[in-house]
Amino acid sequence: MADLFVLMMIVSAGRVPDLARAASLLGVNASEMDATFGVVPIDPENGKYAVQVRASAATDPRKSADGSSGPYSNPRIEGFGPKDGDQ
């Protein structure tokens, strides 16, 4: 069974944080982060980034004093109707 991940928002001023920094901000081990997803800029001018964390390690829904928040669901998005070439 595939690991279930949830989105978390982190706030980190300055340069783009790496996964280790993101994990530290969220209070989880870096091994609980989705390295393939990485750290995705959402609003880099304001230091906001998204990461995926293993659902079992994510904290309860919250918004912290530093602006980090989550967890948020991350449903798979797929197109509607037939794919090109399907009849």
Per-residue pLDDT tens digits for 30-42: 999 999 999 999 9
Q: Which has the closest alpha carbon to 48: 7, 73, 20, 12?
A: 12
- Model confidence at 76, pLDDT cuts 50, 70, 90, reads confident
Higher pLDDT, 12 or 86: 12
Cis ω on the peptide bond leading into residue 71 (within 30° of 0)?
yes
For the whole model, what pTM was predicted? 0.77
Q: Is pLDDT above 70 for 62?
A: no
Higher pLDDT, 69 or 32: 32
User: Which domain range does residue 56 map to?
Assistant: 5-72
Backbone angles phi, psi at 37, to 5 degrees: -70, -40
Helical (H) or strand (E) element with 21: helix 19-26
CA dist., res. 23 & res. 41, Å (int)? 15
**Residue 85 resides in a domain:** no
**Residue 82 resides in a domain:** no
Tally the domains of the chain: 1
**Residue 27 resides in a domain:** yes
Calculated CA dihedral for residues 65, 30, 43, 14, nearest 10 degrees: 80
**Residue 15 resides in a domain:** yes
Q: What is the pLDDT of residue 30?
A: 93
Q: What is the pLDDT of residue 60?
A: 60
